[in-house]
Structure formats: C-alpha cells, structure tokens
Amino acid sequence: MTTEVQARDAIITYLNSAWVSTYPTVKVFYENAVKVDLDAVGPCFLRVIVDFTDSVRQGIDIAPYTASYGEVILQLFAKDGQGTRDALTKLNYLRELLKYQKLTGVDLDCPTPGKKQSRGGWTSHDLIVPFYFLQ
C-alpha cells in the first residue's frame, strides 16, 4: 500500500531525473515553490503540480482498502514570440515519458492536453496525467 507522500515522491523522482538529463537548461518548479523569477528562467520553464483528487473504498470486506486518484499537472511556460514548435516538442516528450508508466506504488494513465493561455508575455501549455494508487 502507498501513501500520498510515497506516490508524490515516486512521480517526482521519475519525472525530475528524466527531465533534467534531457533538458538540463530548462528549469522545473514544483507546487508551492518559491516565486518564479521570470527574468531569470530563460525562454521557457516547467511547473509541476501533483494534485490528489479522489479516494474510493474498495471491497465490502471487514478490512477494505482504498483506491486513491490524482493528476500530475504539467505547465510548460514559453515566452511569447517563441512559436509553438519547441513547446510542442517538450510536451510530446513529457507525454511519451509519463503515459501508462507503472512506478513504485503508483500507476500513471493517459495524458490529456489541458488549457493553453497567455498572460504577462508568457504562454502556458498544460498537460494533465491522471494517476492512481492503493492505500
């Protein structure tokens, strides 16, 4: 059985080691990080949020277990005027990296595109990866 902390650690460890070796110059920030200094991050950066969204009792036994669900929200920010090709390449890398992975105690599912929005000279592209684990 897995806890929320163990599920988050498994996801972040897997994602971070792959991302840093493939894109060493692109900074990555995690939920509740210090404020991002937009003047110092370069032309793009990645923000990662692990969100726990639901839990369901499994079984009618005296000692049931819990299936817990959540999503990894990946937000790739690029400075306006950069075009979309580079952002789409990075998003495709993340999709292929994370889809249907079985990590220690947590399973990732099908990545889906999220919202795309522009604000303050930056455009963000979201990718949402659902996951589940047993408690």
Q: What is the pLDDT of residues 93-124, one digit of tens each?
A: 999 999 999 999 999 999 999 998 988 888 89
Q: Which amino acid is at 57?
A: R
Which tops the pLDDT comparison, 36 or 90?
Answer: 90
pTM tops 0.75, yes or no = yes
Ordered by where they begin, the domains of the chain are 4-134 (3.30.2000.20)
Bridge partners (DSSP) of residue 118 are: 123
What would the two tokens of residue 99 be? 């889809």
Q: 34: pLDDT confidence band, cut at 50, 70 and 90? A: low
* Alpha carbon separation from 37 to 5, 33, 34, 97, 111 (Å, rounded): 27, 11, 9, 27, 28
Q: Tell which phi-psi region holds residue 120, choosing left (phi > 0), alpha (psi between -120 and 50) or beta.
A: left
Mean pLDDT computed over 65-73? 93
Res 81 pLDDT > 90:
no
Bridge partners (DSSP) of residue 125 are: 76, 116
